[in-house]
Structure 1
């Protein structure tokens, strides 16, 4: 009996020791040892005023935007996703289980200009200082919080929507497809059923936003001495989501109907699935390429010797430019000769070649078998819309876009009339007669038939973009983002589509 009591006492002691060891871990599972003090590891935490911090509100080092769609480290920058309830909060620093700094500051709202692509209403900013006033959360919800020690600022925003965007999604790279769901302190889940996904790529985003941009000069490139821009999107793969540019676009390898889910857990972070649930109708059989031909073409523009008849395929080379993410669209700016005509073909032969039928409405014909007449000598933009079965021939609409063309918050507006190029047929050039700045020079085209598949609106400007590199006009087409050409303060841009050259002065 005494031996039994000794064994029982020994087992009870082991159980007590095990319980004490368990209690010495914080709620994130990190062993910080026994004794008094806070049950969290060293670091920065968002803590309700007058309360101890918890591990699920920790801010951790994170990458930020880098040039050329990259990601880079930033010393003293940290970010976190957390559920916060209405009340006052501070940022606290914990060292060896003690709060060694309590940070607050003056709070203000920032009406976001960059990255505001849907109904996002900006974000909250705190000019951080030790001992500063606690900042206020006015609505329960999931928040992204960032702290930058170099700029002494706290930024936070409530994440009210989750969406998918990309060439695989119904809205392409232009519009988010929203997921529905709810979030609590225990986690959040959002989903969409029966969504049509193409064999292409996509990403997940909060609040229709790629990032929150805190650069000192948003017209300059990403650099650590110019502030920072932190990610609110996720790529990589469905099995391993990565923030922002740390992860490539998520590949959808099979076209079909899908159920897509996105979840957030306060300990495990974000997870996603895309489960195919059905097939889709076959895609229209759009051509992979289109070519122009005709005696309206200026033969000196082609690879011929300038003496042959433009109706000869072996002597003409006028490939049209495909539009990114819109396989039904092709365009080309060309010089056309008076009293001539043109046609279009998916190969350099007469099989499946087409022109127009009937009369034009504002330069737009229905596709048919007749030659498309040239109204007068000069530059024209030709657009073939294979979904609507139209062919357009009109004066080119060429626009500059970006910080080289202005700084009034409209410089990134597509088809901005203040940034439109002038067509100078007398001198055979298309030029920007305004003054550019020492920034990236980006250019795009627009036309009435250059529209997305359902005809609901124009394609995004970058989907019909080109630039001047080393004196040549280079088209983006269906490729990735292009290299950059720098302007100079007080400079100009001139384009010659007859020989495919351009100058940036």
Structure 2
């Protein structure tokens, strides 16, 4: 433990008893403090979540695990996941906590909104770009039209307004795009029901690909100039500045 050092980390999620010990002694800060962390109850929440089905990439799992598309954990929200996908009307999909076998797949967890369940699969009534969300602890599955918002000067959102209409990206089929009104670094996120704060579901483009913040720190500074257009294709995983 050092002054202004890194955050404390544990090997697995769960309930911990943390003991901080202070020893009055001369010398550096790290010589005076120590700590122990004992896990008293392991978390039963999944650390991974996947989407499968005709409406995603296919029904793989055991036969073709690559068809199970990983969702992204919300920052600071254990057991909560999200993903943005273009889904065609009537094409089935569902969710799974593993990507290698059947038996952990589910549809609505008993509390789903924004889709219908028939024949053991989810589907949407209209084709479009959607945000899919899972709150495993509270048995919620939510599917709603995707709303992408840009933060700070490049998107005319210097007040960092999480709901600013003028900062919303234009959705056109599979694509979400926005032209920068000023130079600066890109900060973009998806506005959705389960998002506890904007940066909990943040992402940026880098080298033509979308980089998701997930449980990490602030994303790398990616610059955009006034007049350039940022376009995301979430199915393809691309983020392009032109």
- TM-score normalised by the chain length of structure 2: 0.79
1:470 aligns to 2:207 (yes or no): yes
CA gap of 1:281–1:356, structure 2 versus 1, over 3 A, is same
**Secondary structure, counterpart of 1:356 in structure 2:** coil
1:430 aligns to 2:187 (yes or no): no
**Secondary structure, counterpart of 2:78 in structure 1:** strand
Per-residue deviation, 1:370: 3.3
Q: Would the aligned equivalents of 1:330 and 1:384 in 2 still touch at CA under 8 Å?
A: yes
Which protein is bigger by CA-based radius of gyration? Answer: 1
**Secondary structure, counterpart of 1:404 in structure 2:** helix
| Cα offsets for 1:264-284 (capped at 9, x unmatched) | xxxx9x9996877x9776243
**Secondary structure, counterpart of 1:326 in structure 2:** coil
Q: What is residue 377 of structure 1 aligned with on the other side?
A: 127
Q: What is residue 185 of structure 2 aligned with on the other side?
A: 440
In the TM superposition, 1:116-265 aligns within 5 A as 237=1, 240-241=2-3, 247-251=4-8, 253=10, 256-257=16-17
Unpaired stretches in structure 2, ≥5 consecutive residues: none
1:290 aligns to 2:49 (yes or no): yes
CA distance in 1, matches of 2:216, 2:170: 27
CA distance in 2, matches of 1:273, 1:415: 44
CA distance in 2, matches of 1:317, 1:259: 41
CA distance in 1, matches of 2:143, 2:185: 30
CA gap of 1:273–1:355, structure 2 versus 1, over 3 A, is same
Q: Would the aligned equivalents of 1:364 and 1:390 in 2 still touch at CA under 8 Å?
A: no
CA gap of 1:253–1:312, structure 2 versus 1, over 3 A, is closer
Q: What is residue 164 of structure 2 aligned with on the other side?
A: 416
**Secondary structure, counterpart of 2:148 in structure 1:** strand
CA gap of 1:402–1:327, structure 2 versus 1, over 3 A, is same
CA distance in 1, matches of 2:180, 2:75: 29
Per-residue deviation, 1:328: 0.9
The structure with more strand, counted as a fraction of residues: 1
- TM-score normalised by the chain length of structure 1: 0.40
Q: What is residue 492 of structure 1 aligned with on the other side?
A: 229
Unpaired stretches in structure 1, ≥5 consecutive residues: 1-236, 242-246, 263-267, 300-309, 451-457
How many residue pairs end up in the alignment? Answer: 228
Per-residue deviation, 1:295: 1.4
